[in-house]
Amino acid sequence: MQKQEPAVNKLSLIWRFLNGSKRYFVLSFLVGALMIFADMISPQIIRAAVDNAIGGNEPTFGPAVMKLVDALGGFAYLGQHLWIMALAILAVSLVKVVSQYGFLIFNTRAGETLVKTMRDTLYTHIERLPFSWHMKNHTGDIIQRCTSDIDTTRNFVAGQMTQLFRIIILLALSVTFMISMNAWLCLIALAPMPVIIWYSFQFHQKIGAGFKECDEAEGRLSAMAQENLTGVRVVRAFGRERYERDRFENHNANYTNLWVRLGKVMARFWSVADILSGLQVMLVVVFGVLFCLKGNMTSGEYIAFLSYNGMLVWPIRMLGRMIADMSKAGVAIDRIGYIINSEVEKDRETAGTPDVTGDICFEHVNFAYDGCPQMLHDIHFTMKSGTTLGILGGTGSGKSTMMLLLDRLYDLPEDSGRITIGGVDIRDIKLEHLRKNIGIVLQEPFLFSRTLRENLSITDADLTLTDIREAARAACLDETIEGFTKGYETFVGERGVTLSGGQKQRAAIARTLTQQTPIMIFDDSLSAVDAETDAKIRTALEKRFGSASIILISHRITTLSKCDQIIVLDRGRIAEMGTPDELRVSGGLYQRIYEIQSLSSEEVEG
């Protein structure tokens, strides 16, 4: 679905990203100006050599230049020793080469520093965005914004923006010198320029719209590739390779067609721009010859004028590329700005770091995801500190949603009830403090593409192997890991692909157990382990975390059999609540599930 992205102040956003690279851009501008100045000097030396040193015409240079010429022996002497003027051109060329080298060094440093700042800023910002934002945006599209769009912005700022600065200086100096030599020919040279500029800006909007389509199509293509590579086992398990390949090829063909269509627009633009530029050069050459024949220009002035006109035509021709890159960069900055302008998670000004070992209370909680029917209806209960709460319910009954609200991965709206810990509204607790004190094993365990040791110690880099093994032992994982050739240094692969479902769940449990938090949440995290391992893990939890408040979410009655209290959810409402013994004879939903699962167990044993 197409997202409506907010308007972005492009200049302020770029200025923000320039922190750390401004000084390098300033240096590149300075040496770039020196390089342009060297470009301006060479034609004047050639002009002086042709008109004054060789032709013997009366010089028209300023006092400063004449003073330098007199110091070298005058134009008559220079005419007999042309090697001096050739040496002057060589010296100017050397200055240009050195300044060009400095420009490239400083500009490259500025561009790479800009990229680093942008990536660091985006990564930090994305990490602080709410869980709900990540659920609405495809990972592949986010990655494309943080890579391709950043490179596009860098290419424009470090390439075209610095070129724009050079072009302004080049145009000003070129026109100044051209007017000083022949004002009428200068007007003829400048006459086609407004037409070229007007024509370029006419294409600006069309090119920008084309680039936006291409960029969004690339984002969708990246998201599709990322999703299919991540879920490659599912694709192969269901024999959907051909379907996914055809789907990818269709999107790729559409992406290619968008670029071809944009290429046709750019081809028309470049062709007409080249014709107009060629006409401008032709006018200067023809009228320049006429002025020379009439005696309005000298040969040296004509040669110098053509050199300056070449410098003038080049930036005008570059205007087309700048317009195209400006359009593309504008789209890229808008897409980056969408991330930067997205609201991050924030604490209330009055939020503190209270003790979180008290009772957990849900007070008439109602909740609905954006654009969806209400998920939770008037959830009201109290969980005593240090007890174990079990939550049972069908798929979509709101079990996981309750835990996401407790950990503030989703924020509860102001008028939708309250969740308190020790009498303190969780919205008045700093997020970092709250989440450091809640250990949660999510329904879908996620392991990073690292070793088992790195995955288990991700909560604290200072954990020793002894601490890690103790947590793994409580999760009934230690013996399994020791059976691996490399033990805790075993590389688990992307998303833990080399481990079984039960091993991944136990690894996620062990990772949470290393936190030693006063509140522990296990969201259906024992579903992939057998009943015997389930019992061992629950026993280990009782011994290891006797004083912690533990919340167990499960479809398995045996997993909840030793809970102090059980809540049964049905379509987002609390259908029953009580101890396992009370619910077992209540005649309600819990009893029916208990009888069905008990009968199934007896049949399996039979």
Check residue 545 and give its pLDDT: 63
C-alpha span between 501 and 292 (Å, rounded): 87
Check residue 318 and give its pLDDT: 67
Where b means 16+ CB within 10 Å and e means fewer, 560-569 reads beebebbbbb
Q: What is the pLDDT of residues 270-328, one digit of tens each?
A: 777 778 777 878 888 888 888 888 888 888 777 888 887 877 777 666 666 676 677 77
The structural domains of the chain, with segments of one domain joined by +, span 10-341, 354-437+518-606, 445-516
C-alpha span between 309 and 280 (Å, rounded): 9
Laid out side by side, the sheet with 388-393 consists of 438-441, 519-523, 549-553, 388-393, 565-570, 573-578
Does CATH number 3.30.70.1140 belong to domain 354-437+518-606? no
Which residue from 258, 593, 595 is spatially nearest to 394, judged by alpha carbons? 593
Query: If you average pLDDT over residues 485-512, what whole number do you get?
Result: 79
pLDDT over 60 at 392, yes or no: yes
pLDDT over 60 at 144, yes or no: yes
Check residue 92 and give its pLDDT: 86
pLDDT over 60 at 569, yes or no: yes
Where b means 16+ CB within 10 Å and e means fewer, 227-241 reads ebeeeeeebeeeeee
How far out from the chain centre does Cα 296 lie?
60
Query: If you average pLDDT over residues 178-192, what whole number do you get?
Result: 82
Percent of the chain with pLDDT over 70: 89
Residue type, 441: V
Contact 437, 493 (CB under 8 A): no
Please, which pLDDT band fits residue 154 given cuts at 50, 70 and 90?
A: confident
pLDDT over 50 at 442, yes or no: yes
Check residue 568 and give its pLDDT: 93
Q: Establish whether domains 354-437+518-606 and 445-516 are of one fold.
A: yes
Which residue from 340, 343, 376, 335 is spatially nearest to 132, judged by alpha carbons? 343
Lowest mean pLDDT among 94-103, 222-231, 406-415: 222-231
CATH class of 10-341: mainly alpha
Tokens read off for 512 = 């949470």
Contact 432, 356 (CB under 8 A): no
Higher pLDDT, 449 or 119: 119
SS3 524: coil
Please, which pLDDT band fits residue 5 given cuts at 50, 70 and 90?
A: low
Lowest mean pLDDT among 165-179, 375-389, 556-570: 165-179
The 10 Å Cβ neighbour count of residue 463 is 17
Quote the DSSP letter at residue 53: I
> Which residues contact residue 536 at a Cβ distance below 8 angstroms, ignoring those fewer than 6 apart?
476
Model confidence, pTM: 0.71
pLDDT over 90 at 366, yes or no: yes
Query: If you average pLDDT over residues 400-408, what whole number do you get?
Result: 91
C-alpha span between 182 and 319 (Å, rounded): 25
> Which residues contact residue 212 at a Cβ distance below 8 angstroms, ignoring those fewer than 6 apart?
331, 334
Check residue 418 and give its pLDDT: 94
Contact 512, 541 (CB under 8 A): no
Quote the DSSP letter at residue 418: E
C-alpha span between 412 and 429 (Å, rounded): 13
pLDDT over 90 at 429, yes or no: yes
Check residue 1 and give its pLDDT: 38
Q: Which of 38-52, 103-117, 187-201, 492-506 has the highest mean pLDDT?
A: 103-117
pLDDT over 80 at 494, yes or no: no
Does CATH number 3.10.180.10 belong to domain 445-516? no
Contact 155, 128 (CB under 8 A): no
Q: What is the pLDDT of residues 499-536, one digit of tens each?
A: 777 788 888 888 888 887 889 888 877 665 666 676 77
Query: If you average pLDDT over residues 337-366, what whole number do you get?
Result: 90
pLDDT over 60 at 2, yes or no: no
SS3 372: coil
- At which residue do the structure tokens 């607790």 appear? 429
Where b means 16+ CB within 10 Å and e means fewer, 256-282 reads eebbeebeeebeebeeebeebbeebbe
SS3 257: helix
Tokens read off for 183 = 């004002």
SS3 463: coil
Higher pLDDT, 177 or 351: 351
Sign of the dihedral through C-alpha 101, 102, 107, 109: positive
Q: Tell me the Cα Rg of the chain.
A: 36
**H helices present in 294-398, as ranges:** 299-341
Phi, psi at 381, each rounded to 5°: -165, 165
Query: If you average pLDDT over residues 87-115, what whole number do you get?
Result: 89
- At which residue do the structure tokens 């004002």 appear? 183
C-alpha span between 43 and 89 (Å, rounded): 9
The 10 Å Cβ neighbour count of residue 588 is 15
Query: If you average pLDDT over residues 204-216, what whole number do you get?
Result: 73
pLDDT over 70 at 337, yes or no: yes
The 10 Å Cβ neighbour count of residue 448 is 13
Check residue 80 and give its pLDDT: 78
pLDDT over 50 at 400, yes or no: yes
Query: If you average pLDDT over residues 338-355, what whole number do you get?
Result: 89
Check residue 530 and give its pLDDT: 65
Query: If you average pLDDT over residues 404-431, what whole number do you get?
Result: 92
C-alpha span between 510 and 522 (Å, rounded): 11
C-alpha span between 306 and 8 (Å, rounded): 43
Contact 255, 221 (CB under 8 A): yes
C-alpha span between 446 and 66 (Å, rounded): 78
Q: What is the pLDDT of residues 550-566, one digit of tens each?
A: 899 888 888 888 888 99
